[in-house]
Amino acid sequence: DSKSRVTIVGSGSWGSVAAKLVASNALKLPSFHDEVRMWVFEEVLPNGEKLTDVINKTNENANYLPGIKLGRNVVADPDLENAVKEANMLVFVTPHQFMDGICKKLKGKIKGEVEAISLVKGMEVKKEGPCMISNLISKELGINCSVLMGANIANEIAVEKFSEATVGYRESREIADTWVQLFSTPYFMVTPVRDVEGVELCGTLKNVVAIAAGFVDGLEMGNNTKASSSNEAAIMRIGLREMKALSKLLFPSVKDSTFFESCGVADVITTCLGGRNRRVAEAFAQSGGKRSFDELEEEMLEGQKLQGVSTAREVYEALNHRGWMEMFPLFSTVHQICIGRLKPDAIWSRGRGNSELV
């Protein structure tokens, strides 16, 4: 069979939009099978129906992307092994905390010649140091893994508002072009860059910057106004500097130009203005740090998951391990505020930039 089969592993809000993008292209491109499988972490809706049954009946993800048709060729499957067994192109798009378990379950269960791409923004911290999710996938499953990151608020792309994204690839431009083809639509413009680590670290670290942006937005609660746009801009600038410096320290191959792609500056701006991490961090600061992120996430996001709080911890562990804490005041302060060791206003007293960063 010379045609490729695609499976999407994940079905949250971005996972569902990814399924929609890929499904529209699989129908058009002769080199792909029409059917796109989507692994769904099974849930039961309040009316007793299973989420997979609802998706297959209505063609909409009632829990994570209501009101959007995914495409009739998307088939929801609650069985992870079954969902991937025929696929030779795997798209990973779950919250990062579940990826280790998913990889363990998939070990030895996928076909021989498989290419993967990760849309997951986050990393794992192992004893040896930080491990990017694409690397986890490659190591655990023995397959090549590219990444796709960018300024991509799922709800906006779901209604076909224009946006850009970046594919980070390792060696083969041909593989990168296949992914670009599979994701590109007139409203979703994808550019390939030969810098997997740079693209992935941008997508991962900007979530920590977004938490900081939420803190400054929540701080001026007293006068009932949001923090000024200059406050936000300062956080974005300092955050970008720390993102670039840490990425290059961890992976010297990371390119400066990557930070000017959609995955870099554009994603920092969009997430600091319109993302979930920003919104929940604002509520945290408004409570004076008294309410926990877990509680706020549950109350505000209806099952969707934040990535920035756990990423801040993972970054903190990595910095601590290497003795780099002082070089990254913004990153290390965000974590300490998240765990209640510092008050939200420490984002200004401690989190400001370090002029010695590269």
* Token duo for residue 85: 């067994």
Q: 98 contacts which partner out of ligand 13P, ligand NAD, none, CB within 5 to 8 A by kind?
A: ligand NAD
Provide the token pair at 304: 């969707």
Query: Is the Cβ of residue 106 or residue 308 nearer to ligand 13P in the bound state?
Result: 308
Does 153 help bind ligand 13P (rule: CB under 6 A)?
Answer: yes
152 binds ligand NAD (CB under 6 A): yes
Contact 269/210 with Cβ under 8 angstroms?
no
How far, in Å, CA of 97 to CA of 204, rounded?
Answer: 12
The yes-or-no answer on residue 206 being catalytic is yes
Q: Return the closest-CA partner of residue 304 out of 122, 64, 39.
A: 64
Per CB under 6 A, 37 contacts ligand 13P? no
Task: Determine, following the binding rule CB under 6 A, whether residue 16 of this chain makes contact with ligand 13P.
Answer: no
In the complex, least distance from residue 38 CB atom to ligand NAD, rounded to whole angstroms: 10
Cβ atoms 189, 164 nearer than 8 A:
yes
Q: How far is the CB of 165 from ligand 13P (least distance, A)?
A: 9
Residue among 121, 206, 244, 248 flagged as catalytic: 206
Residue number, 41 or 259, with CB nearest to ligand NAD: 41
Nearest CA to 155 out of 276, 51, 39, 236 is that of 276
Q: What is the DSSP letter of 8?
A: E
| Residue nearer to ligand 13P on the CB measure, 73 or 163 | 163
Helix (H) or strand (E) holding 155: helix 154-158
DSSP character at residue 220: G
Q: Are strands 89-92 and 115-118 parallel, antiparallel or unpaired?
A: parallel
Residue 26 or 120 having the CB closest to ligand 13P: 120
CB of 86 to ligand 13P, least distance (A): 30
Nearer to ligand 13P, 84 or 344 (CB): 344
> Helix or strand or coil: residue 254?
coil
Q: Is 65 in the site for ligand 13P (CB under 6 A)?
A: no
Report the nearest approach of ligand 13P to the CB of residue 307 (Å).
Answer: 6
Q: Which of 7, 16, 94, 271 binds ligand 13P (CB under 6 A)?
A: 271
Applying the rule CB under 6 A, the residues between 31 and 60 that interact with ligand NAD are: 41
Q: How far apart are CA 151 and CA 268, in angstroms?
A: 8
Q: Which stretch binds ligand 13P (CB under 6 A): 34-42, 145-153, 252-260, 347-355?
A: 145-153
H helix count then E strand count, the chain = 15, 10
Compute CA 86 distance to the chain's CA centroid, rounded to the nearest angstrom: 26
The answer to the question of residue 94 lying near ligand 13P (CB under 6 A) is no
Q: Are 312 and 331 in contact (CB under 8 A)?
A: yes
Touching ligand 13P, residues 193-212 (CB under 6 A): 210
Residues near ligand 13P (CB under 6 A): 121, 151-153, 210, 267, 270-271, 275-277, 307
The catalytic site residues sit at 206
